[in-house]
């Protein structure tokens, strides 16, 4: 990697100050993404992965607040920028794809109106040129007969098509970074496969860096170059996709992979992680996973475990599964 990473998140902490207490949704998350690369941010509900995505774009509203850490996008620290500057970046150099395409699409406006609006908000190239770009963007995401889709309203399109349009809108200004928050979770398997394929192609072609947030390990295995696994607001393991999946070092990653049915012999009991994620209001002093970890030791509960570099990856564990990995 000769060039600096497109996005570098450094010890990000986003807390929510609610009546019931402080919810430490993101509590010290660090990762980086290079140009043209897809990073899979994997975690279950309550892991803080979506909040991380929103923090990057500055979409955190009170009672939430980025309390510390840096989000370096091509050198600029997004956490310190004012709203004006953030707005000029959003939709332009950094864009987001949401799980529900209707969060992107306005149901009462036509597709072409919305896409042209996105273009013209950042570049004054005239309506005709903007329309042409819109048509190209739709073709880029594999939508057949883009001219017909342009004049349609969102409700006239199927779920998969709407999500493709949302992706097209995300890519229309040729951004450097795209954050995708579970964009295919709500879609059927065949449509999901198509969209994954197209997203991968797009990133390769345009050199865009992508952070793909998901809870589905299988999706990310096929798609991502690198993976960061989150648990209770922290990154517990990060590395190349091949390595993390083949030889997980953190017991949580190991347990998560073991929970997937296709990794177990048919008909046998799935290896399950007992218990549930801890409440983010009340995180324990030491490792957040200690209560559920099969390898827990005294030192795990005493203090927060720092992230260390092992075998070319970062792991947040005092007893990582090195032996199994190296074997």
Partner 1 sequence: MITTVPVAVATAAPIIEVRGLSKRFVKRLDLAGRLAARLGSGAVEETVHAVDHVDLTLAKGEVVGLVGESGCGKSTLGRMIAGLLPATEGEILFKGQARASLDGEEARAARLAVQMIFQDPYASLNPRSRVEDIVGEAPLLHGLTTRKGASDYVDSMLTRVGLDPDFKRRYPHQFSGGQRSRIGIARALAVKPEFLVCDEAIAALDVSIQAQVINLFMDLRRDFNLTYLFISHDLGVVQHIADRIAVMYLGRIVEMAPTDELIAKGPNHPYARALLAEVPRLGREKRKFRPVKGEIPSPLNPPSGCHFHPRCPVAVARCSIEAPKLRVIASGRHSACHLND
Partner 2 sequence: MSIAEAPIAAKPKAVVETPFRRFASEYLESRVAAFALGLMMVLIGLAVLAPWITPQNPYDLAQVDVLDSRLPPGTKSSGNYTHWLGTDGAGRDLLSAMIYGLRISLIVGVMSGLIAMIVGTAVGMTAAYTGGRVENLIMRIVDLQLSFPAILLALMLIAVLGKGIDKIIIALVTVQWAYYARTVRGTALVEARKEYVEAARCLGLSSPRILFKHILPNCIAPLIVVATVQTAHAIALEATLSFLGVGLPQTEPSLGLLISNGFEYMLSGKYWISFFPGLVLLVTIVAINLVGDQLRDVLNPRLKR
95 bridge partner residues: 178
**Does 2 interact with partner 1 (rule: CB under 8 A)?**
no
Q: Which of 82, 190, 268, 272 binds partner 2 (CB under 8 A)?
A: 272
215 contacts which partner out of partner 2, partner 1, none, CB within 5 to 8 A by kind?
partner 1
- State which of positions 269-308 bind partner 1 (CB under 8 A): 269-274, 276-277
Q: Which of 72, 263, 295, 319 binds partner 1 (CB under 8 A)?
A: 263
Q: Which of 22, 260, 296, 310 binds partner 1 (CB under 8 A)?
A: 260
Q: Which of 278, 295, 296, 310 binds partner 2 (CB under 8 A)?
A: 278
278 contacts which partner out of partner 1, partner 2, none, CB within 5 to 8 A by kind?
partner 2
**Does 68 interact with partner 1 (rule: CB under 8 A)?**
no
- State which of positions 187-216 bind partner 1 (CB under 8 A): 188-194, 196-197, 200, 215-216
**Does 44 interact with partner 1 (rule: CB under 8 A)?**
yes
Q: Which listed range, 78-86, 124-132, 218-226, 268-276, lies at the site for partner 2 (CB under 8 A)?
A: 268-276
Q: Which is nearer to partner 1, 73 or 289 (CB)?
A: 289
> Are 175 and 4 in contact, with CB atoms under 8 Å apart?
no
**Does 36 interact with partner 2 (rule: CB under 8 A)?**
no
Nearest distance, CB of residue 99 and partner 1, angstroms: 13
Closest CA to 185 of 156, 155, 219, 157: 219
**Does 294 interact with partner 2 (rule: CB under 8 A)?**
no
**Does 264 interact with partner 1 (rule: CB under 8 A)?**
yes
Question: CA separation (Å) from 107 to 59, 183, 299?
Answer: 22, 18, 54
Q: Which is nearer to partner 1, 126 or 275 (CB)?
A: 275
Q: Which of 103, 276, 297, 311 binds partner 2 (CB under 8 A)?
A: 276
Angle, vertex CA 302, rays to CA 296 and CA 305, nearest 5: 75
Question: CA separation (Å) from 15 to 12, 71, 271, 286?
Answer: 10, 15, 33, 18
**Does 72 interact with partner 2 (rule: CB under 8 A)?**
no
45 contacts which partner out of partner 2, partner 1, none, CB within 5 to 8 A by kind?
partner 1
Q: Which of 147, 156, 242, 285 binds partner 1 (CB under 8 A)?
A: 242
Q: Which of 279, 299, 303, 308 binds partner 2 (CB under 8 A)?
A: 279
List residues near partner 1 by CB under 8 A: 44-45, 158-161, 188-194, 196-197, 200, 215-219, 221-223, 242, 245-246, 255-264, 266-267, 269-274, 276-277
**Residues found near partner 2 in the complex (CB under 8 A):** 19, 272, 274-279, 291-292
């Amino acid at each position: 990697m000769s060039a600096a990473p497109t996005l570098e998140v450094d010890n990000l902490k986003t807390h929510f100050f609610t009546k019931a207490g402080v919810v430490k949704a993101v509590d010290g998350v660090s990762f980086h993404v290079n140009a043209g690369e897809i990073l899979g941010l994997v975690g279950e509900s309550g892991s803080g992965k979506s909040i991380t995505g929103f923090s990057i774009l500055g979409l955190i509203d009170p009672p939430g607040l980025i309390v510390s850490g840096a989000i370096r996008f091509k050198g600029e620290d997004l956490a310190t920028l004012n709203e004006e500057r953030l707005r000029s970046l959003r939709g332009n150099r950094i864009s987001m794809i949401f799980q529900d395409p209707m969060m992107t699409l306005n149901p009462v406006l036509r597709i072409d109106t919305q896409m042209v609006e996105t273009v013209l908000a950042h570049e004054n190239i005239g309506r005709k040129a903007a329309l042409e770009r819109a048509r190209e963007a739709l073709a880029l995401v594999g939508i057949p007969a883009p001219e017909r889709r342009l004049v349609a309203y969102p409700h006239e399109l199927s779920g998969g098509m709407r999500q493709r349009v949302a992706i097209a809108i995300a890519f229309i200004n040729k951004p450097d970074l795209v954050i995708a928050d579970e964009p295919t979770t709500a879609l059927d398997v065949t449509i999901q496969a198509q969209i994954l394929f197209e997203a991968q192609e797009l990133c390769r072609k345009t050199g865009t860096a992508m952070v793909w947030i998901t809870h589905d390990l299988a999706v990310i295995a096929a798609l991502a170059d690198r993976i960061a696994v989150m648990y209770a607001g922290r990154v517990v393991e990060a590395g190349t996709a091949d390595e993390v999946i083949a030889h997980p070092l953190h017991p949580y990653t190991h347990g998560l992979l073991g929970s997937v049915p296709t990794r177990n012999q048919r008909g046998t009991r799935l290896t399950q992680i007992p218990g549930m994620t801890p409440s983010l209001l009340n995180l324990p002093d030491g490792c957040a996973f200690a209560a559920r970890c099969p390898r827990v030791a005294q030192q795990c509960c005493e203090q927060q475990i720092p992230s260390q570099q092992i075998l070319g990856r970062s792991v947040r564990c005092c007893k990582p599964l090195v032996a199994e990995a190296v074997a």
